[in-house]
């Protein structure tokens, strides 16, 4: 039997990268998938791919930095599917500049903290409230290697991702006896649009790309599917005694 047969699985950032790989993986394992992304067109593409493989999915446009949009997405999930069993919160942003802390623009600090940390907290807030109503569930948060070590010239990203690790531990303790497990994943360089075309523009900078590859002990970039596989394992009964963990997925970089 597929691990998520008839389970309702909610994924943010599901229009691309790790989120899309996770949404498709849930569908292949029998899950009913709620595809959330700030880019509605991308969310609809992912949902249509799930429908094409014979799965069930709905697409919802969600900016996780907006409390009402997050709350409404969970309300819509329950309205459509009746419950919420698993949530993988992949949505996040990286700053557009690389600057030391004392020079870093205020607006980009607030933007990253609002999306990566407060937005993740809002997702958890409404997901957990629903999971308490339907008897439990599993939540996975996407932190980063920058949630475990410092990231020079990217202070708000590191601060926000360290905060996600703190949320993971705290929520895991608070709901450990409510049949709700909370874990996070801390990847390094994964080949996603955010890292390839975002702040570091690795797709356009062969030298920077090679530096990222060299930092991984396996000497390659990670793939979105490799992170999705961890997320599904953490949401499954195969990891039933694990909560409050932040799992490195780093190709040995931090070993």
* pLDDT tens digits for range 130-145: 999 999 999 999 999 9
Residue (of 27, 1, 63) closest to 10 by Cα position: 27
Query: Which contacts qualify for 206-215: CB closer than 8 Å, 24 or more apart?
Result: 213/189, 215/188, 215/189, 215/253
Q: Where are the domains of the chain?
A: 8-187+222-249
Q: What integer pLDDT is reported at residue 189 of this predicted model?
A: 80
> What topology is assigned to 8-187+222-249 in CATH?
Rossmann fold (3.40.50)
Place of tokens 């992170």: 227
pTM of the predicted model, to two decimals?
0.95
Q: Which residues of the chain have pLDDT under 50?
A: none
Containing H/E element for 186?
Answer: strand 180-187
Told to judge if 157 belongs to the known catalytic residues of this protein, a careful annotator would answer: yes
Q: What integer pLDDT is reported at residue 200 of this predicted model?
A: 66
Q: Which entry of 10, 157, 175, 197 is annotated as an active-site residue?
A: 157
How far apart are the C-alpha atoms of 94 and 117, rounded to whole Å? 12
**Cα dihedral 108/69/175/225 (nearest 10):** -70
How far apart are the C-alpha atoms of 236 and 238, rounded to whole Å? 5
Angle in degrees, CA 62, 69, 51, rounded to 5: 40
Residue 223: exposure state from Cβ atoms within 10 A (0-12, 13-18, ≥19) = middle
Lookup: tokens for 102: 């004392």
């Amino acid at each position: 039997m597929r691990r998520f047969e008839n389970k309702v699985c909610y994924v943010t950032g599901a229009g691309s990268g790790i989120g899309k790989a996770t949404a498709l993986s849930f569908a292949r394992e029998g899950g009913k998938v709620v595809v959330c992304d700030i880019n509605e067109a991308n969310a609809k593409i992912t949902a249509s791919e799930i429908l094409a493989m014979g799965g069930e999915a709905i697409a919802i446009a969600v900016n996780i930095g907006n409390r009402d949009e997050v709350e409404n997405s969970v309300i819509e999930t329950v309205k459509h599917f009746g419950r919420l069993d698993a949530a993988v919160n992949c949505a996040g942003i990286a700053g557009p500049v690389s600057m030391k802390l004392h020079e870093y623009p205020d607006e980009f600090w607030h933007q990253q903290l609002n999306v990566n940390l407060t937005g993740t907290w809002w997702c958890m807030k409404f997901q957990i409230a629903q999971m308490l109503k339907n008897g439990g569930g599993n939540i996975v948060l996407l932190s980063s290697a920058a949630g475990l070590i410092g990231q020079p010239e990217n202070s708000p990203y590191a601060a926000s991702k360290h905060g996600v690790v703190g949320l993971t531990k705290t929520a895991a303790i608070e709901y450990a006896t409510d049949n709700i497990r909370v874990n996070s994943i801390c990847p390094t360089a994964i080949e996603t649009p955010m890292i390839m075309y975002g702040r570091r523009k690795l797709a356009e900078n062969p030298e920077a790309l090679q530096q990222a590859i060299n930092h991984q002990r396996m000497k390659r970039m990670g793939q979105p599917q490799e992170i999705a596989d961890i997320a599904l394992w953490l949401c499954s009964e195969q990891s039933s005694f694990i909560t409050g963990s932040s799992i490195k997925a780093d190709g040995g970089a931090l070993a």
